[in-house]
Amino acid sequence: MISREARIGLILAFLAMGVIAAVAVVAAMAAPHPFDRVYYHGPLTDHFNGQRFFNPDGKSGTGGAQKPGPRAVFDMVTGAKHDSWPKSVPVTQTVPARRIDGTAMRVTWISHATALVQTQGLNILIDPVWSERDSPVTFAGPKRVRQPGVRLVDLPKIDIVLLSHNHYDHLDLAAMKFLWRRDRPLTITGLGNDTLLGWHGIPALGRDWGDRVPIKPGINVIIERAHHWSGRWLLDRNRTLWCGFTITLPGGNLYYAGDTGPGDMRWASIAASHGPVRMAILPIGAFKPGLPESGNHISPVEAVTAFKMLKAGYALGVHWGTFELTSEGINDPPELLKATLIAQKIPLDRFRTPPAGEPWDIPLDNGRTASLAFGRPRR
């Protein structure tokens, strides 16, 4: 048995190690260039100050709580779970069609924020993540409880990858390297992320909010504003741009919000101005943080507000039920989404959270949907 003196010694040693680690972190964060990582140089804008990107509406959305307590830090580092999250959930993996042509559109939620959209003969993969942890290391950090609904090797040939930002639950470098080696897709992302990917041998187009990338006649990718932050390690906070995307399509646009907090909600009205939205992919999870509010993620209620602002035909709820990032239960996001839709008399088949791997064929009825008073067609 360990003596009382030995136990006290161990506790003091542990506390000393914590102090040393904290000093090291502060020193690292204060370290000047070249220890910093700079991915982008460019002119000043309403969201870039010459050094770092920021949210132009002045709200937070800049990286979570400023003063997390010891338990919160421990949970984040170790990936500790709350009682409401199981160790795993069952998933029936599927093999997608190789192509979907014409105005037909098929959307498959793979898990977390990863989705496959197939239309116009294009296979479009959004924020591909197959990693087991939302973490820079394999031995710590939030661990996946929902396996991908499609195995990486079972994906059809990917034509376009849309990468919203560089957080680990949205940018999986191993998956990106696999896709580049196998398919050579066109990767489109926010400013600075192209540099980060290039360092790992993955070519990408880095673009600013409002820029357009032509794909083929009638089809363009528009880089959309979002309200969030970026960073992959201690020193690169907000060095790359976060974004959403609109893809203009003959049968109505596809919109992906990326990771976004509400901010002033202008991101939704800007996307709506680009034409009828046939399909919106909106985050609904990580809305109930155990740490102080940071404005980084919209709630299911705010996602329904965005759905209405977009006048979207249909919507897929993502960013939930895969990695335990905040304190909500694993099924809280879809349950609150359903309750909100019922309360606002919006048909449940318009905004869905289907099982991972289940394909969803999106009807082509945007004209009728755009005129809905959400529950009652306008006469």
The pLDDT tens digits of the residues spanning 253-266 come to 999 999 999 999 99
* Residue 245 and residue 162 in contact, taking contact as beta carbons nearer than 8 Å: yes
Mean pLDDT over residues 51-76, rounded?
Answer: 61
pLDDT of residue 283: 98
For the stretch 194-203, contacts whose Cβ atoms lie closer than 8 Å and that sit 24 or more positions apart, written own/partner, are 195/39, 195/40, 195/240, 196/39, 196/166, 196/232, 196/240, 197/163, 200/173, 200/176, 201/177, 202/173, 202/176, 202/177
Q: Do the strands 105-111 and 114-119 form a parallel or antiparallel pair, or are they unpaired?
A: antiparallel
Q: Do the strands 160-163 and 186-190 form a parallel or antiparallel pair, or are they unpaired?
A: parallel
CA quadruple 215, 182, 170, 56: dihedral positive or negative? negative
Band the pLDDT of 290: cuts 50, 70, 90.
low
pLDDT of residue 174: 97
* Residue 298 and residue 244 in contact, taking contact as beta carbons nearer than 8 Å: no
For the stretch 67-70, contacts whose Cβ atoms lie closer than 8 Å and that sit 24 or more positions apart, written own/partner, are 67/292, 68/291
Rounded CA separation 152/182 (Å): 11
Better pLDDT: 193 or 367: 193
Instruction: State CA 234 to chain mean position distance.
Output: 20
Q: Considering the chain, what is the average pLDDT of its residues?
A: 86
Cis check for the bond before 142: say yes or no (omega within 30 of 0). Answer: no
pLDDT of residue 235: 85
Range 105-370 has CATH code 3.60.15.10: yes
The pLDDT tens digits of the residues spanning 159-199 come to 999 999 999 999 999 999 999 999 999 999 999 999 999 99
Quote the DSSP letter at residue 293.
P
Kindly report the pTM of this predicted structure: 0.85
pLDDT of residue 222: 98
The pLDDT tens digits of the residues spanning 102-143 come to 999 999 999 999 999 999 999 999 999 999 999 888 888 899
pLDDT of residue 53: 96
pLDDT at residue 293 is higher than 70: no
Written as one string, the DSSP assignment of 195-213 is HHHHHTT---EEE-TT-EE
Domain ranges of the chain: 1-30, 105-370
pLDDT at residue 243 is higher than 90: yes
pLDDT of residue 23: 41
The pLDDT tens digits of the residues spanning 192-229 come to 999 999 999 999 999 999 999 999 999 999 999 999 99
